[in-house]
Copies of this chain bind each other. A is one copy, B any other.
Amino acid sequence: MDNFLLEVPVGVSGRHVHLSKEHLNILFGNDYELTPIKDLGQPGQYAAKETVTIIGPKGILEKVRIIGPTRSASQVELSKTDCFKVGVNPPVRDSGVHEGSPGCILVGPEGVVKLEKGVIIASRHIHMLPEDAEKYGLKDKDMVKVKVDNERGLVFENVLVRVSTTSGLEFHIDTDEANACLLKTNDSVKVLR
């Protein structure tokens, strides 16, 4: 039997790219700085004005948004729908886990990067502050269910809880997951356990 714990707002992630400082320099020129145009749900993260083109064995995705700031390793997050178009078959992974993932070609205005790995389909997860986790009897790495109530209603199973002091309460899913059940950013869903 599943018990209702709390409601959380949804954050839908479209396809995007995180770049290392080295790759940013190759794609946009030496000492290039990203231009933030929109703050994201997680503190310090922003959508940049800059975009790249992604090239795979079967297709191209143009104007793919860069999320800043730069990271230690570049990462490309695609939906499964995108993957069919580009011709890559990445695993479903937590951010930053690149072992065994495929690569792709990234093209910017000043250069090209052949990424050897780092293309993933992002694992859905719930960000939560320690005080929220404690209030509802949850801890970091717990698995919960998330229920969506609408005409395309469903229950996501195997949803990872990530507790940290830097992340506001938010259920992160990709565009395939959102479109399958007609969710939009800032909609509300129910956490069950």
In the complex, whether A177 has a CB less than 8 A from a CB of chain B is yes
Q: Which residues on the B side are within 8 Å of A72 (C-beta)?
A: none
Which residues of B have CB within 8 Å of A179? Answer: 79-81, 84, 176, 180
Q: Give the contacting residue for A182; candidates B1, B92, B157; CB below 8 A.
A: B92
The distance in angstroms between the C-alpha atoms of A181 and B121, with both chains bound, is 12
User: How many copies altogether?
Assistant: 2
Q: Counting CB contacts under 8 A, is A31 at the interface?
A: no
Q: Are B175 and A81 in contact, CB atoms less than 8 angstroms apart?
A: yes
- Separation in Å of the A178 CB from the closest CB of chain B? 8
Query: Cβ of A92 and Cβ of B152 under 8 Å apart?
Result: yes
- The smallest beta-carbon distance between A128 and chain B, in angstroms, is 21
Q: Which 5 A-B pairs have the closest CB atoms?
A: A80-B179, A180-B180, A176-B179, A155-B155, A153-B157
Q: Which of B81, B84, B156, B182 contacts A154 (CB 8 A)?
A: B156
Q: Which residues of chain A in 67-85 are interfacial with respect to chain B, using CB atoms and an 8 Å cutoff? A: 79-81, 84
Q: Which residue of B lies closest to A83 (CB)?
A: B179
A164 within 8 A of B: no
Interchain CB contact under 8 A, A92 and B176: no
Listed residue (A157, A158, A177) with the most chain B CB atoms within 10 angstroms of its CB: A157
Give the chain B neighbours of A152 by CB distance below 8 A: 92, 124, 158
